[in-house]
Structure 1
Amino acid sequence: MGWSRITMGTAVAVCGGMVVCAAGASGSAAADDGSRAGKKTQLLFQSDGERPGELVDLQVVGVATRHEQVVVKSPAFAHAVRLAYQQDRMAEPSWGFGYQARGQIAMKAKRGRYPLTVEIAGRVVDRGRVRVVASPRPSFEVSGSLQGARPGESVGLFFDDLYPGKTGSSFTVHSKAFKAPVPLRHDDHGGYWNNPRMFEAVPSVLPDAEDGTYTVVLTGPDGRRIAERRLTVRAARPGDHDYKGKVRGPEFFGKHGDPDESTRRFRVPAGGRMHVLWRDASPDAGEEKRLTATSPAFEEPVRLERDDSKSADGDDPRFYGLARIRFGLDGGSYPVTVVSHHGRVKRSSRLVVTAAPGHHGDKPRHDGNMSGDHSDRGGLPAMAVIGGAALAVGTAGGLLVRARRTRTGDSR
């Protein structure tokens, strides 16, 4: 839960995505804790309706001096809640010290409104109310789009078992739409932290799942069937916005280069390394888990991973991976191919590989259209001795340097 001060005597709490305003204590509803004249202690909590067994965040601010006994009590709680000192932005000197803890609504609590008090060293310093609603029956939900989940797409599984008398925490979902049985777990730090009996998972539909309706079965700790739902799977079809996406590539950039500098005209030496880049405005669901680039020039297929860096924000989704060029490869032009959208899209680009100096297949090419070489460069210039003169052939700009002949007394 996040808290922030707005004006004196007012604070805002964000709980489970809902903004809750807690007015500062005033009049007879608030009391000075007795440690500093005029200083008001406030409870930041407003009930919008809690279920039996739910957790609630409680925060008290404005305590003038440090206390060890800051307690929140209510008949709605299973027991009194002792708050701990929080050294954070809510504990500024101008606001006094802050305390926080999580309380739990008793499972036996009935519907209605219950009083709530804040005590410091046994003295009531603020009051509030908590509203308890009826417990709904356990429910099992499978999320998915109205037109059906795409092959490879992630779907949400949620089992809400917060109901009197329910126990156990080992629940599993079975379906032919998934690769294997899916265990459901509770996440103490997730969006449903306040429901200790919300069990969830986000599996992916099989990337090659056929169109159809699949049964999704929830089982309990003993393997018994608790509930079942239906999941519709439908691959993209002609006319759908994501049928073939909007692809660009494959393109290339150097081992230590930047994706923004990618180009289709690229040279790399045999044994070198370089990146393959692919862009798609509407990739298939789960595409980032199976995109690869292949080439007879590569030591092995290259897995293209999604670029989640901030440099890609606002741009089409892009994927890239580091390729290793085979050693001893003949110089020449080699195709690099990427297949996406379940085989509906296939694109190739040509990559120029320069063979190692002295290799039998080395055929230097001088193509004025080949620019933007960001490949690895290393090693020393090739040396040759011609007619007693040393020649150094540089790799940059085609530089040729002739060493002076050493004088040995010959005046020629």
Structure 2
Amino acid sequence: MTAGWQRVVVFGVCGGVLSCGGLARPAAAAEDPPTISQASAGPRPGEAIGIDLLNYERKPGVDLVAESPVFAAPIRMDDPAGDTDGEGVKAPIPASAKPGSYPLTARARGKVVARDTIDVQPPKRPSIEVDGDGARRPGTTVDLFFDDLYPGETGKTFTVHSTAFTSPVRLAHDKDSWNNARTFNAFDVPLPHTLRDGTYAVWVTDADGERKAATRLNVRSARPGDDDYLGKATSPAFFRKEGHLFNARVEGFTIAAGRTVYVRWQDANPDPGEEGRMTATSPAFQAPARLKSDLVKGHEGDDPIFWGPARVKPGLKPGSYPVTVVSHRGRVKKTGYLTVTQGTARDDGEDGLPTALGVGAGTGAFALVAAVAVLLVRRRRRPSLS
């Protein structure tokens, strides 16, 4: 959860396992006085704090309570029902509390063992926040947090609206928040990859459609200087057999009309969400090739890899045909060229080289070996001159 939704502040003398200035300290000496710690310090009316007593040896059968004029009743510091899972015991601040400083004491057997102060802040109007700072990228997701802790607010159903979202977003009550009973949220709300750069209004309505709070969302595509700007995309490469990504070649690839060719695309920084919408198009293909992300091969090849099959049109006129991949919402366009021939499967080698070249090379090698063998035989049959 973002800062401001649950702040943890520790007051009092640093000691025990606590640290000051970020440096570890040795265990507190026996003479260190007991101190009170507060989690979610600086509460608003209706919020709660967590309180604990440090540097104090608790004894069985001895009641330990925290008292303050701001509490509705003393707080038992050993009450299991008030446990906050690491933040001490829950101490509610009444919604009727007035802003100001209130003394806080911890008592054992009626004797004061530690003192502190609770600083109650003024109420804050309901607010909606979008997680994180700065601009969001199209194609990413965002989290929404609605703080409705304000005197008189009692609604239970809230919806967030924005033209940046594909549809209104229903908020869920955050039942895990121990210090603020009026928080509502939604997670992983998608921003369409087609979303234009700009600032979008975001507002919350209750069950009656009344607007309760509003904020603004800044959306911006990556630009020069950003770590994720455009990435380093390479031109489309081609290979013959499924999964043989590293046999792919950018230039000089040949395929017979009517056969299947595989297209590979690599990009160091794909736009968020591109994994499901990458395609390669060509006038030589019967249909665009859908390029799917290959996480395993992408890891082996360092940069993310996308690949997929395309059927070359049967009866296509021989020649060189462009194959184009467009990414980053149209900001990157790369074209490679595929050579199409007439013929059958025998006309294409495994790596897209014409088989005739391989046959010619093999025939030449065979002829050379045969010529050498004939020469050796003739030399052996030549009569001796001795």
TM-score of the aligned structures, taking structure 2 as reference length: 0.56
1:52 is the counterpart of 2:42: no
1:106 is the counterpart of 2:99: no
Amino acid at match of 1:159: F
- Inter-CA distance 340–180: structure 2 relative to 1 (3 Å threshold): same
| Distance of 1:187 and 1:70 partners within structure 2 | 31
Cα displacement (A) at 1:362: 5.0
Judge conservation of contact 1:216–1:229 (CA < 8 Å) in 2.
yes
Question: Counterpart in 1 of 2:66?
Answer: 72
Question: Counterpart in 1 of 2:380?
Answer: none
| Distance of 1:251 and 1:278 partners within structure 2 | 11
- The residue matched to 1:129 in structure 2 has which SS? strand
| Distance of 1:57 and 1:338 partners within structure 2 | 56
1:196 is the counterpart of 2:181: yes
Greater fraction strand: 1
What are the within-5 Å matches in structure 2 for residues 204-353 of structure 1?
Answer: 204-210=190-196, 214-228=200-214, 245-249=230-234, 277-280=266-269, 284=271, 286-287=272-273, 290-292=276-278, 294=280, 301-304=290-293, 319-320=304-305, 338-347=325-334
Question: Counterpart in 2 of 1:178?
Answer: 165
Amino acid at match of 2:13: A
The total of aligned residue pairs comes to 315
Judge conservation of contact 1:41–1:60 (CA < 8 Å) in 2.
yes
Structural RMSD (CA): 5.8
| Distance of 2:109 and 2:274 partners within structure 1 | 57
Judge conservation of contact 1:160–1:198 (CA < 8 Å) in 2.
yes
| Distance of 2:207 and 2:114 partners within structure 1 | 45
- Inter-CA distance 142–256: structure 2 relative to 1 (3 Å threshold): same
Unaligned segments of structure 2, at least 5 residues: 16-29, 81-85, 254-258, 315-319, 339-343, 354-386
Cα displacement (A) at 1:220: 0.1
| Structure number, greater radius of gyration | 2
| Distance of 1:172 and 1:53 partners within structure 2 | 23
Q: Which moved more, 1:341-350 or 1:129-138?
A: 341-350
Amino acid at match of 2:154: T
Question: Counterpart in 1 of 2:373?
Answer: none
Amino acid at match of 1:279: A
| Distance of 1:366 and 1:306 partners within structure 2 | 24
| Distance of 1:297 and 1:119 partners within structure 2 | 82
- Inter-CA distance 211–367: structure 2 relative to 1 (3 Å threshold): closer
Amino acid at match of 1:160: D
| Distance of 2:247 and 2:231 partners within structure 1 | 18
Amino acid at match of 1:195: N
Of 9, 18, 23, which residue of structure 1 is paired with 2:13?
23
| Distance of 1:160 and 1:124 partners within structure 2 | 36
1:129 is the counterpart of 2:123: no
- Inter-CA distance 20–363: structure 2 relative to 1 (3 Å threshold): farther
| Distance of 1:116 and 1:274 partners within structure 2 | 70
Amino acid at match of 1:216: V
Of 133, 140, 152, which residue of structure 1 is paired with 2:139?
152
| Distance of 1:101 and 1:298 partners within structure 2 | 65
- Inter-CA distance 45–174: structure 2 relative to 1 (3 Å threshold): closer
Identity %: 35
Judge conservation of contact 2:12–2:37 (CA < 8 Å) in 1.
yes
- Inter-CA distance 140–100: structure 2 relative to 1 (3 Å threshold): closer
Question: Counterpart in 1 of 2:105?
Answer: 117
- Inter-CA distance 39–47: structure 2 relative to 1 (3 Å threshold): same
